[in-house]
Amino acid sequence: MEKQFRSIGEQMALLRMRGVETSEQTAAILLRDGYYAVVNGYGKAFLDQAASRAANDDRYQRGTTFDQIYQLFLFDRELRSATFRAVMCVESTLRAVLSHTFCEYHRKANAYLRRGCYAQQSEYLRGPATHEGDLTWMINTLEHHARGHIVDEHDDEPRDSGRVAWYREHYDQVPLWVLFSDLTFGNLRYFFALMKRGEQRKVCQRMREACGATHEGKTLSPAGMLHDLETLSELRNDCAHEERIYDARFGEDELTYGQVVDVLAAYLAEDDEQRLADDIRSLVARTVAQTPSLADVLTANGFDV
């Protein structure tokens, strides 16, 4: 069993023992980014599987350098950044379309706190068994945000959200679109699942319209959109929490990165879709030009080199 803590010098010695060439920059990189994040996260692509089994410990392919591992780490970091920006575009559109559609159908003040404004148990997309719990949780979440409380790690007591307090003071209510600014992507997908079926269909239609001519004529069902949102929520969380994505699998379908980008693109406006494609293409080209040995790793994971 490995020790729980190793000094930077011990980490470098371990790398060399396992067959990884280090350099003058290795120590600074390990101190800055961490052994776990870099080596445990990205060294797998360079392991000699047969030698590792024989040694019952990690052994790397002949000629593996720490720089190769680190360049793959940097590639994935930039890939997350480009992907996260695109997911934020979808999230922004989703906030606008959901709040606009719900408020169009339910015009009374604070309608989002009324159980009758949501789907009945029999038509709930996530299944009848979870309807009561999910609906109660959603209304409680919205009610909490409507009170405007924000918890700051530097304050002992919650403080009021300025925009929510302003609406409460001037209108004695808080519009749904104001609350939506504080909801997570995961919150939004639950809200969509809880909407009535006709409203869900309108949301699907408007999401397609928001994407422009790129996806004109392509239909989208409420169940299909919820499935996509669940997958994109996982992608968003992986990007936000610096999880590895270049070789990850997403959603219950275990989509590759390339496949999940196809899902993401279906909810992007043409310019945003093109920017994402250009960002990925440019990143792959720069990475391979700087570290040609990564071409095989990227190709094996579906990237066009």
- Tens digits of per-residue pLDDT, 127-136? 999 999 999 9
Residue 206, domain member (yes or no): yes
> How much is the pLDDT for 51?
97
* Statement to judge: residues 129 and 163 lie in one domain: yes
Assess if residue 167 is contained within a domain: yes
Closest CA to 32 of 63, 60, 74: 74
Are 138 and 204 in a shared domain? yes
Note whether residue 177 is domain-resident: yes
Residue 293 lies in a domain: no
H-state helical runs in the chain: 8-17, 26-33, 35, 41-42, 49-55, 66-105, 128-146, 162-171, 176-179, 185-194, 197-211, 222-240, 257-265, 270-290, 295-300
Total domains present in the chain:
2
* Residues sharing a CB contact under 8 Å with residue 78, sequence separation 6 or more, in sequence order: 283
220 and 102 belong to one structural domain: yes
> Do 33 and 153 lie in a common domain?
no
**Is 123 buried (19+), middle (13-18) or exposed (0-12) by CB count in 10 A?**
middle
Answer yes or no: do 55 and 105 share one domain: no
How is residue 133 written in tokens?
A: 């719990």
* 223 and 148 in a common domain: yes
Q: Assess whether 90 and 227 both reside in one domain.
A: yes
- The H or E element that residue 180 is part of is none
Q: Do 115 and 52 lie in a common domain?
A: no
* Burial of 88 from C-beta contacts in 10 A (0-12 / 13-18 / 19+): middle
C-alpha 44/C-alpha 216 separation (Å) is 42
Listed in sequence order, the residues at least 6 apart from 222 whose beta carbon sits closer than 8 Å to its beta carbon are 125, 192, 197, 200, 201, 203, 204
- What is the reported pLDDT for 145? 83
| 254 shares a domain with 184 | yes
Looking at the fold, whether 40 and 167 belong to one and the same domain comes out as no
Write out the residue range of the structural domain in which residue 50 sits.
8-64
Distance between CA 69 and CA 276 in Å, rounded? 24
What confidence tens digit (pLDDT) does each residue in 231-268 have?
999 999 999 999 999 999 999 999 999 999 999 999 99
Regarding whether 151 and 203 lie in a shared domain, the answer is yes
Q: Using an 8 Å Cβ cutoff, are 278 and 289 in contact?
A: no
78 pLDDT more than 80: yes
Higher pLDDT, 6 or 1: 6
- To 10 degrees, the CA torsion angle through 254, 259, 265, 271? 140
Residue 70, in any domain of the structure: no
Q: Which of 20, 44, 64 is the last residue of a domain?
A: 64
Q: Is residue 302 assigned to a domain?
A: no
The 10s digit of each residue's pLDDT in 148-202 is 655 444 445 544 566 665 566 555 578 888 888 889 999 999 999 999 999 999 9
pLDDT above 90: residue 87: yes
How many beta carbons lie within 10 A of that of residue 78, not counting itself?
15
How do residues 201-228 score in pLDDT, each as one tens digit? Answer: 999 999 998 887 555 556 789 999 999 9
Cα 78 from Cα 283, distance rounded (Å) = 8
Residue at a domain's end among 19, 41, 64: 64
Tokens 């590639």 — which residue?
75
Q: What is the pLDDT of residue 153?
A: 44
Task: Judge if 43 and 101 occupy the same domain.
Answer: no
Is 114 inside any structural domain?
Answer: yes
**The amino acid at 193:** A
Query: Quick one: pLDDT at residue 138?
Result: 96
Q: Are 71 and 35 in contact (CB under 8 A)?
A: no
Confidence of residue 38 (pLDDT cuts 50, 70, 90): very high
Q: What is the mean pLDDT of the chain?
A: 91
139 touches 115 (CB < 8 A): yes
Residue 255 lies in a domain: yes
- pTM as predicted: 0.90
Question: 34-43: b or e for each residue (b if 16 or more CB lie within 10 Å)?
Answer: ebeebbebbb
